[in-house]
Amino acid sequence: MHNVSSDIIDRLRGAVDAGGATTDAAEISPHLKEWRNRWFGQTPLLLKPADTAAVARILAICNETRTPVVPQGGNTGLVGGQIPTQGEILLSLERMNKIRAISPDDNMITVEAGAILEKVQDAADAADRLFPLSLAAEGSCTIGGNIATNAGGINVLRYGMTRDLVLGIEVVLADGRILDLMRSLRKDNTGYDLKQVFIGAEGTLGIVTAATLKLFPKPSGYAVAYAALSSVEDAVDLLNRTQGATGNLVTAFELLPRSGLDLVLKHIDGTIDPLPGHGGWSVLIEMPTSSAFDTTTILEDALATAVEDGLVVDAVFAKNERDREALWRLRETMPEAQRLDGPSISNDIAVRLGDIPRLIANAYAAIEKVLPGCRPFSFGHVGDGNIHLAVRAPEGQADALLSARSEIEAVILNEVDRLGGSISAEHGLGLAKNDINARYKSEAELDLMRALKTVFDPNNILNPGKLIPRD
């Protein structure tokens, strides 16, 4: 545990304005609990700077006094990376939430790190542009958090991860220096692309305070279909067929299991089963339309052919925006329905597309050997190989599931590693996987990660105990 002296706390309070610091337990409390109640933190001081200069002053003091600090965005992370569990200073970027500039002609928007993702989407929309990063927590997660974890979401298939959407960043280094990497050029071959070092670094190398992001032409609408599959093996085949038929226009291709859909229908009010009676796997497919042509007919033809070939059992299409929202609600509320149903174990993993069926089959078999009667279900971004593999307890055995968490997670991650996959696809490592990452990274990779940490944060004040495996 870190004991921060009253003198240091007074100095840190003096680095921010009147509304930028608090020691009030009631005000701090919401910042100390992870969404799924897996981690609970503690801190003597919550700092909420209003600008980059204040962040710089805070880190200069923390570095001088070797006081550890944990940065936090919207506190929507699922691996505990944003929680100060050892009494560190907590630094929230929530007040730094401005849209600094938007340039439709340049297809870019500059925002502060505390800007809510949904607000950035809305600002782009108002300028007749699209910011394509989209995930279930977009109403509360922040751009800084998205950058820190290299967030993925539903549109990775067409637009890429967060790092693919960042043109420039502003970051405060551990010693308080402000690093301006906001040139925002599409091409710049003048040396190392330093901004990429901070994207996905979970606040361990510097604190991102602003970013310039890519925008895209706004679609005039979307073609959306919900299709029932003959088997999970057919999902990848259907994806490739659909991409070929549409000229790679598919933006989202989401896998949904019947067991997961049943949880949503049980716990989320107003949801409707689009294909009653289908007990197997389904996919949710989306692609944009433009004023030049409507892609709905193309998608209909592709699925009709898939039905004839036995890949697809049945399909329904969204006729309007209300239908589209209803279909997407089934997918987006699945994590919430999982949480409401009781204790479960979640894994954010990735493998090559063709290995998805093998991963699911092998992992399910391995889980059954650890705790017979477990109820695993998998959903997620099959278009980019990112599967969220959840495990519910056998009926009436919640305690047994939680007791077996480590062993269950180990057999799942071992299957992922056996297939050459990643133990964390888009949520990061945080507290959940930073130590076990050492089992799956080579010594050369780990040595370089530690070397980077030493260069950027020699006093180990930035989010210590996260991302880098402890020796």
- pLDDT of 250 over the 80 cut: yes
Q: What is the mean pLDDT of residues 385-401?
A: 93
Among 137, 175, 109, smallest CA distance to 36 is for 137
The residues, ordered by sequence, that sit 6+ positions from 327 with a Cβ below 8 Å of its Cβ are 224, 226, 274, 284, 318
State the pairing for strand pair 89-92/178-181. unpaired
% of the chain surpassing 70 pLDDT = 99
Q: What span, in angstroms and rounded, lies between the C-alpha atoms of 356 and 350? A: 8
- pLDDT of 294 over the 80 cut: no
Q: What is the mean pLDDT of residues 397-420?
A: 95
Q: What is the mean pLDDT of residues 359-369?
A: 97
The residues, ordered by sequence, that sit 6+ positions from 444 with a Cβ below 8 Å of its Cβ are none
Long-range contacts of 371-378 (CB under 8 A, 24+ apart): 371/397, 371/400, 371/401, 371/404, 371/408, 373/397, 374/401, 374/408, 375/259, 377/257, 377/259, 377/260, 378/255, 378/257
Q: What pLDDT digit, counting tens, does each position of 13-58 carry?
A: 999 999 999 999 999 999 999 877 888 999 999 999 999 999 999 9
Domains of the chain by start residue, with CATH: 99-217 (3.30.465.10), 221-334 (3.30.70.2190), 342-430 (3.30.70.2740)
DSSP character for 427?
Answer: S
Please tell me the total number of residues recorded for the chain in this structure. 471
- pLDDT of 1 over the 90 cut: no
Q: Based on the number of CB atoms within 10 Å of its own CB, is 229 exposed (0-12), middle (13-18) or buried (19 or more)?
A: buried
Q: What is the mean pLDDT of residues 209-224?
A: 95
Which runs of consecutive H residues, i.e. helices, occur in 371-460? 398-403, 405-418, 430-433, 437-440, 443-456
Residue 464: pLDDT band with limits 50, 70, 90:
very high
Helix (H) or strand (E) holding 346: strand 344-350
On average, the pLDDT of the chain sits at 94
- Residue 406: phi and psi, rounded to 5, are -60, -45
Q: What is the mean pLDDT of residues 167-176?
A: 98
Q: What pLDDT digit, counting tens, does each position of 317-345 carry?
A: 999 999 999 999 999 999 999 989 998 99
Half-sphere exposure of 290 (CA within 13 A, CB side): 8
Give the predicted TM-score (pTM) of the model: 0.93
Residue 471: pLDDT band with limits 50, 70, 90:
low
Q: What span, in angstroms and rounded, lies between the C-alpha atoms of 306 and 234? A: 10
Q: What pLDDT digit, counting tens, does each position of 72-121 carry?
A: 999 999 888 999 999 999 999 999 999 999 999 999 999 999 999 999 99
Map residue 190 onto helix, strand or coil.
coil
Q: What span, in angstroms and rounded, lies between the C-alpha atoms of 226 and 316? A: 5
- pLDDT of 289 over the 90 cut: no
Q: What is the mean pLDDT of residues 170-194?
A: 94
SS (H, E, C) 194-246: CHHHHCCCCCCCCEEEEEEEECEECCCEEEEEEEEECCCHHHHHHHHHHHHHH
CA–CA distance from 137 to each of 75, 77, 115, 153, 422 (Å)?
A: 10, 9, 13, 10, 22
